[in-house]
């Protein structure tokens, strides 16, 4: 009797499946699994996936913005200006991460949810704005959204390959994003101060002149660097001929000795946590190092606390 009932249920289920197929109802899309960098071909192959959210981050940092987005963007891409709501000023320190509540609200408005993968599309013309993409990527990771990627070569590579474009604005369809912060990816000024003299590697992503104290960011109150820091200009990882990161083999070869030869935690910093995100991205996401974090207040935040030590000669030249 049980065998007869089981057979009947299987036949019924089969009939329902045939009926649904006959109605032509679309199968639910699967959320794509992303690598940290995705190719233009991969993105074109996945444009129709409604569980893929594309963020066009062209902005004044790349001498671009919404006008360029409206004239032509990757089909379905939503415009999201940087720094925009991705960064804020707090306690006189510019460029730090906004509150969790704020980020949950704005990402929900963009349509971000656990069931959607996110691809960030930078302009693709400089290491400076690639750093914007890595900062946004890091923000997603910090907020607990793991399925995120950057388009390799950005909008410039997409356009150069004559891939499809659409004009006008794409209005986001809101969803619900709930953050689950990964506190291991962010350190505060107080935490950095506690690590002075310890085994952590402080990796300074700024140009050599800023590291040495010959120049400084306009918002920093003092010149120099965190005592004991190692300088590695994030621009070193970038290939200006192709406007992409260098090859995996080159990136591995360029890894600073102080990082490569140690299992110590790495604290990546710069002026306001922008360039620091590129060094974090290469070390953590591409080279697989798991103990790298970002100090987003960086030298602007550090320099404002006069009781904190700074190494490097004092000069009187400020730079952006």
Backbone φ and ψ for 312, nearest 5 degrees, come out as 115, 150
Q: Is residue 85 part of a domain?
A: yes
Asked whether residue 215 is domain-assigned, the answer is yes
What total number of domains does the chain contain? Answer: 2
The CATH code of the domain that includes 233 is 3.40.250.10
What pLDDT, in 10s, does the model give residues 230-246?
A: 999 999 999 999 999 99
pLDDT of residue 28: 58
Q: How many residues does the chain have?
A: 320
Nearest 5°: the CA angle 189, 191, 192 is 65
- In a 10 Å sphere around its CB, with 0-12 CB exposed, 13-18 middle and 19+ buried, how is residue 18 labelled? exposed
Return mean pLDDT, the chain: 90
Q: Which two tokens stand for residue 184?
A: 């291991």
Q: Which of 302, 293, 295 is nearest to 269 (CA)?
A: 295
The verdict on 125 and 227 lying in the same domain is no
Where in the sequence is the domain holding 56, given as residue range(s)?
Answer: 37-181
Residue 8: predicted pLDDT: 40
**Among the three residues 149, 165, 181, which one is the final residue of a domain in this structure?**
181
Which pair of tokens denotes residue 43?
């993105």
88 beta partners: 96
Of 194, 197, 201, the C-alpha closest to 293 is 201
DSSP state of 292: E
pLDDT over threshold 70, residue 177: yes
Same domain? 43 vs 169: yes
With a cut of 80, say whether residue 317 has pLDDT above it. no
Co-location of 150 and 164 in the same domain = yes
What residues does 225 pair with on adjacent strands?
Answer: 311
Q: Are residues 283 and 171 in the same domain?
A: no
Alpha-carbon span 123 to 24, nearest angstrom: 39
| pTM tops 0.85, yes or no | yes
- Are 41 and 168 members of one domain? yes
Distance CA 123, CA 221 (A): 32
Residues 283, 203 share a domain = yes
- Rg from Cα positions in the chain: 23
Q: What is the pLDDT of residues 243-263, one digit of tens each?
A: 999 999 999 999 999 999 889
Within this chain, do residues 269 and 220 fall inside the same structural domain, yes or no?
Answer: yes
């Amino acid at each position: 009797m049980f065998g007869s009932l089981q057979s009947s249920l299987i036949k019924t289920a089969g009939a329902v499946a045939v009926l649904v197929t006959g109605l032509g109802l679309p199968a639910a899309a699967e959320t794509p699994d992303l690598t940290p960098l995705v190719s233009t071909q991969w993105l074109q192959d996945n444009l129709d996936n409604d569980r893929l959210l594309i963020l066009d981050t062209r902005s004044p940092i790349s001498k671009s913005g919404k006008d360029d987005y409206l004239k032509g963007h990757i089909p379905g891409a939503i415009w999201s200006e940087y720094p925009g709501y991705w960064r804020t000023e707090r306690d006189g320190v510019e460029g730090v991460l906004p509150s969790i509540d704020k980020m949950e609200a704005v990402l929900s408005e963009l349509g971000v949810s656990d069931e959607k993968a996110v691809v960030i599309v930078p302009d693709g013309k400089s290491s400076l704005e690639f750093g914007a993409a890595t900062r946004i990527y890091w923000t997603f990771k910090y907020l607990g959204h793991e399925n995120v990627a950057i388009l390799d070569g950005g909008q410039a590579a997409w356009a150069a390959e004559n891939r499809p474009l659409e004009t006008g604005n794409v209005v986001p369809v809101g969803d619900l994003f709930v953050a689950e912060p990964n506190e291991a990816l962010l350190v505060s000024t107080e935490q950095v101060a506690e690590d002075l003299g310890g085994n952590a590697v402080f990796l300074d992503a700024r140009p050599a002149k800023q590291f040495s104290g010959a120049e400084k960011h306009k918002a920093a109150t003092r010149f120099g660097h965190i005592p004991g820091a190692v300088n590695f200009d994030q621009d070193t990882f970038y290939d200006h001929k192709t406007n992409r990161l260098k090859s995996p083999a080159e990136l591995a070869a360029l890894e600073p000795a102080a990082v490569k030869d140690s299992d110590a935690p790495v604290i990546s910093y710069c002026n306001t946590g922008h360039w620091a995100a590129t060094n974090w991205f290469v070390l953590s996401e591409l080279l697989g190092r798991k103990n790298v974090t970002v100090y987003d207040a960086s030298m602007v935040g550090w320099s404002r606390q006069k009781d904190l030590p700074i190494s490097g000669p004092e000069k009187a030249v400020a730079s952006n």
